[in-house]
Amino acid sequence: MCDSDSHKEMLSIAKRLVAELEAGNNDQATSLVDELAHIREGELFQEIGKLTRELHSSITSFEIDSELCDITKSDIPDAKERLNYVITMTNQSANRTLTAVENAIPYCDALHDKSVQLGAEWKRFVNREMNADEFRQVSKTLEGYLAESEEQLDAVKGALNEILMAQEFQDLTSQIINRVIKMVDDVESHLVNMIKATGSAPVAAKEEEKGKLEGPQVPGLSTSETVNGQDEVDDLLSSLGF
């Protein structure tokens, strides 16, 4: 019931009350007083209802705050730990892979060089440019090469397996990063809700620092200020006379 309605109603009851009292109708007067009290009570209930709603929304927004507090107290430090672990794992994997490659390359080089040498000698043999002594020597070299190559190829295969196993981080790091992305999503929605609840106007975005290093480009997030790949770098530099 709006204020002016209740005001009019109270006024009309009051007028009737005066009339009934002047006429000496006490019973009617008493029931009119009850009616007035009833109107008053209605307003009071409305007021309590409003207060209750406000209290409820305050409590709800306070709950949002406390959830956000939990996130800042535990989830964010936790996420930092997780991301540091991602760095550790990817670093370990890169080093493990590089070590395996560096171990395998000398074997590949040795196999390659020996193949080139034997290939040349074999060609001489086929062309009948080789005497018997030389051929015996080449046969020995070939025998040694076959034995060595077996060992060296095993070592190369071992290195390839090592590289294979060094990729196991990808599964774990993806899971960790997914959890952190979810946490960032949660924080975002809590902050949006808080801003909605308090009704604050958005603060103007800070102007970008000039000359700031941006780090790696992410596909889909590049702007007109950044280049997309090496071809654009080359185009830009050649437009400058490079």
**Ramachandran region of residue 213, left (φ > 0), alpha (ψ -120 to 50) or beta?**
beta
Burial of 68 (0-12, 13-18, 19+ CB in 10 A): middle
Is residue 219 at the binding interface for other proteins, with CB under 8 A as the rule?
Answer: no
> Applying CB under 8 A, does 4 fall inside the site for other proteins?
no
If binding is defined by CB under 8 A, does position 113 make contact with other proteins? no
Taking every pair of Cα atoms in the chain, the longest distance, rounded to a whole number of angstroms, is 152
- As a whole number of Å, the CA-based R_g of the chain is 43
Residue 211 CB, nearest approach to other proteins (Å):
8
- Least Å from the CB of residue 74 to other proteins: 30
**Segment near other proteins (CB under 8 A); pick from 28-36, 58-66, 67-75, 224-232:** 224-232
Smallest gap from Cβ 214 to other proteins, in A, equals 6
Residue 198 CB, nearest approach to other proteins (Å): 36
Is residue 230 a contact point for other proteins (CB under 8 A)? yes
Is 105 one of the binding residues for other proteins (CB under 8 A)?
yes
How many angstroms separate the CA atoms of 34 and 36, rounded? 5
Residue 222 φ/ψ region, left for φ over 0, alpha for ψ in the -120 to 50 degree band, beta for the rest: beta
Going residue by residue from 133 to 152, which x/- string records binding to other proteins, judged by CB under 8 A? --------------------
Q: Is residue 21 at the binding interface for other proteins, with CB under 8 A as the rule?
A: no
Contact call for residue 220 and other proteins (CB under 8 A): no
Distance (Å, rounded) from C-alpha 123 to C-alpha 119?
6
- List 49, 77, 144, 229, residue binding other proteins (CB under 8 A): 229
- Is 202 among the residues that bind other proteins (CB under 8 A)? no
- Of 85 and 125, the one with the shorter C-beta distance to other proteins is 85
The answer to the question of residue 95 lying near other proteins (CB under 8 A) is: yes
Q: Give the Cβ contact number of residue 231 at 10 Å.
A: 9
Length of the chain: 242
Q: Does 203 bind other proteins (CB under 8 A)?
A: no
Which of 196, 221, 193, 204 is CA-nearest to residue 71? 193
Separation between Cα atoms, residue 187 and residue 72, nearest integer Å? 9
Three-state secondary structure call for residue 240: coil
CB closer to other proteins out of 22 and 207: 207
The site for other proteins (CB under 8 A) is made up of 91, 94-95, 98, 101-102, 105, 211, 213-217, 222, 225-227, 229-230, 233, 236-237, 240, 242
